[in-house]
């Protein structure tokens, strides 16, 4: 087991994450700390970061370095971004950090910073074509990718902190400052010919996350998850209008907005809105990824030279299975039997390949609740799948998978209606979850002892007779499995209107 610490010295804040990586590459974040230092905001006209800000940053990094030692990190990677990169006295800061903490601070170029953000994004979102926008305190990194491969990149020398300082939106936003800010951002974006497109913007950084929290709070949205939350241009404009009309004190009381970001949120939201306006892209997908994820994947794949995983969803499913030491052979048997049954019963259920994928994933993770406890594992499974780092799934799919997996033993649909009224589900998703769960219940029963005794299923549907026959081939006696499967098949028959017969073959 390796414990990796990553310290990210940004223009607005210093962040620390500590990640455990086992011998098979399974990784799990165990610490996440943040301190707002505002290096970009303390820079004077000559590019000098103030001594006060330097002292604060060095002290924060020293505390984080000591924390890494206390938590027994085997290795610490420390990087700095735009504010340090542009500072006239950056060498003083770098040397002071080295002298007081023993850390070697790597100052990233704009291109390196953009590339690390891109690596983090393509390993945590399923979109193959998109525009990544990483809005920090002192810079905006833009990367367009197609088929998950980087095509264009640009690093712009403004961020939420520097825009706030330049256009005076700290205390109160005037109409003059709004007009000047809009003109500046529009010119900046129009100067990049490859920005417009029909694919979404993938937003990373604290301003995007804060924007998502504000909108979720306004809607009483569930699940209470930032990762993969979708935002429209109309959503952004509504928040921007609200922010621009509030004083700093009023912004600090804004539901969903952390107090430390209240002063820079107006300008940051403007940067996001005009990016949407100029590019005419359809929506934003907010992700919790960052350059820290890019550094992690570079570290994980340092020997192969290719930090991009083959499949985002598959990688994160495998990561959960391996990290939590789940019974992988059982999970794969149940999932394989489920999709086999799904394929053979197409005449009965008439569902699509999309539903097949949801069933497959639910089968692979249907036992994850046991990491909390066997008693109540249905509710534990639901909780884990709504909150664990399972990247690459839109909220609608994630909620459906969570309820299907939680219902592998008996139906568990607690509070599901709330996800229709206040979340991503549609009314038709409720019966669909029950139908998929009825298939998973049968196949979970066929490996109830987790021995792999059932090796094959073969199904036939007689539409005229209204019958479905499932023939089970086993390596040895499977009396318990057959009994359980027959009992669970009653739900399938009820939902699809067939009498179900399960027989040994």
What percentage of the chain carries pLDDT values higher than 70?
A: 100
60-82 pLDDT tens trace: 999 999 999 999 999 999 999 99
Asked if residue 464 has pLDDT above 90, the reply is: no
Q: Give the chain's domain count.
A: 3
For residues 88 and 128, membership in a common domain is answered with no
Q: Examine residue 305 and state whether it is found in any structural domain, yes or no.
A: no
d(CA 443, CA 176): 65
What does the pLDDT read at residue 463?
Answer: 87
470-488 pLDDT tens trace: 999 998 888 999 999 999 9
145-170 pLDDT tens trace: 999 999 999 999 999 999 999 999 99
DSSP three-state, residue 223: coil
For residues 119 and 71, membership in a common domain is answered with no
d(CA 311, CA 152): 22
What percentage of the chain carries pLDDT values higher than 90?
A: 92
| 8 A C-beta contact, residue 388 and residue 223 | no
Q: Phi then psi for 207, rounded to 5 degrees? A: -65, -45
What does the pLDDT read at residue 477?
Answer: 84
75-80 and 13-21 as β-strands: parallel, antiparallel, unpaired?
A: unpaired
Residue 28 pLDDT grade (very low, low, confident, very high; cuts 50, 70, 90): very high
Sheet of 467-474, strand order: 454-462, 467-474, 499-504
d(CA 353, CA 342): 10
d(CA 363, CA 381): 12
For residues 88 and 173, membership in a common domain is answered with no
For residues 352 and 413, membership in a common domain is answered with yes
Name the residue range of residue 229's domain: 111-291
Asked if residue 204 has pLDDT above 80, the reply is: yes
Specify the DSSP element, H or E, that contains 65: helix 51-70
Residue 63: CATH number of its domain: 3.30.420.40
275-315 pLDDT tens trace: 999 999 999 999 999 999 999 999 998 877 889 999 999 99
d(CA 364, CA 375): 20
What does the pLDDT read at residue 305?
Answer: 80
Q: Examine residue 120 and state whether it is found in any structural domain, yes or no.
A: yes
Residue 206 pLDDT grade (very low, low, confident, very high; cuts 50, 70, 90): very high
Mark which of 108, 126, 161 sits at the end of a domain. 108
For residues 471 and 408, membership in a common domain is answered with yes
d(CA 94, CA 97): 5
Average pLDDT over residues 357-383: 97
475 CB-near residues (< 8 Å, 6+ apart): 452, 453, 455
Residue 194 pLDDT grade (very low, low, confident, very high; cuts 50, 70, 90): very high
Long-range own/partner contacts, residues 305-310 (CB < 8 A, 24 or more apart): 307/119, 307/123, 308/119, 308/122, 308/123, 308/148, 309/123
| 8 A C-beta contact, residue 64 and residue 52 | no
What does the pLDDT read at residue 203?
Answer: 98
Q: Examine residue 278 and state whether it is found in any structural domain, yes or no.
A: yes
d(CA 130, CA 195): 10
Mark which of 108, 123, 138 sits at the end of a domain. 108
Residue 493: CATH number of its domain: 1.10.3210.10
Asked if residue 188 has pLDDT above 90, the reply is: yes
- Beta strand ranges found along 219-280 (DSSP E): 229-231
Average pLDDT over residues 445-460: 93
Q: What is the average pLDDT value for the chain, to the nearest integer?
A: 95
């Amino acid at each position: 087991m390796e414990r990796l610490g990553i310290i990210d010295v940004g223009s607005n804040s210093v962040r620390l994450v500590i990640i455990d990586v086992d011998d098979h590459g399974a990784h799990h974040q165990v610490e996440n700390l943040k301190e707002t230092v505002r290096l970009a905001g303390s820079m004077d006209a000559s590019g000098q970061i103030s001594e006060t800000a330097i002292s604060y940053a060095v002290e924060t990094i020293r505390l984080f370095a000591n924390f890494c030692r206390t938590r027994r990190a085997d290795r610490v990677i420390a990087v700095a971004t735009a504010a340090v990169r542009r500072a006239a006295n950056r060498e003083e800061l770098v040397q002071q950090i080295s002298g007081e903490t023993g850390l070697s601070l790597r100052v990233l170029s704009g291109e390196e910073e953009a590339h690390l953000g891109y690596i983090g994004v393509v390993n945590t979102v399923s979109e193959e074509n998109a525009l990544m926008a990483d809005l920090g305190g002192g810079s905006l990194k833009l990367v367009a990718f197609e088929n998950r491969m980087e095509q264009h990149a640009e690093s712009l020398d403004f961020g939420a902190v520097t825009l706030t300082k330049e256009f005076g939106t700290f205390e109160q936003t005037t109409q003059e400052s709004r007009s000047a800010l809009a003109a500046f951002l529009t010119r900046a974006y129009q100067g990049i010919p490859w920005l417009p497109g029909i694919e979404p913007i993938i937003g990373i950084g604290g301003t995007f996350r804060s924007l998502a929290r504000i909108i979720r709070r306004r809607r009483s949205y569930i699940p209470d998850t930032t990762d993969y939350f979708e935002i429209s241009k109309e959503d952004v404009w509504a928040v921007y209008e609200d922010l621009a009309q509030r004083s700093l004190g009023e912004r600090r009381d804004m539901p969903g907005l952390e107090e430390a970001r209240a002063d820079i949120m107006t300008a940051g939201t403007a940067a996001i809105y005009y990016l949407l306006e100029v590019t005419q892209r359809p929506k934003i997908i907010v992700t919790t990824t960052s350059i820290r994820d890019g550094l992690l994947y570079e570290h994980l794949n340092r020997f192969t030279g290719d930090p991009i995983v083959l499949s985002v969803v598959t990688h994160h499913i495998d990561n959960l299975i391996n990290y939590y030491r789940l019974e992988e052979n059982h999970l794969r048997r149940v999932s394989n039997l489920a999709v086999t049954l799904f394929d053979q019963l197409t005449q009965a259920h008439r569902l699509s390949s999309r539903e097949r994928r949801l069933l497959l994933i639910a089968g692979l993770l249907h036992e994850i609740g046991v990491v909390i406890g066997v008693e109540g594992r249905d509710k534990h499974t639901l909780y884990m799948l709504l909150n664990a780092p399972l990247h690459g799934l839109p909220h609608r799919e994630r909620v459906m998978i969570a309820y299907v997996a939680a219902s592998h033993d008996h139906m568990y649909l607690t509070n599901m209606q709330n996800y229709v009224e206040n979340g991503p589900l549609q009314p038709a998703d409720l019966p669909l979850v029950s139908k998929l769960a009825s298939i998973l219940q049968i196949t979970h029963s066929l490996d109830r002892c987790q021995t792999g005794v059932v090796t094959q299923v073969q199904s036939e549907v007689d539409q005229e007779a209204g019958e479905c026959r499932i023939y089970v081939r086993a390596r040895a006696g499977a009396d318990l499995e057959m009994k359980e499967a027959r009992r669970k098949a009653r739900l399938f028959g009820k939902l699809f209107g067939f009498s179900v017969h399960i027989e040994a073959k």
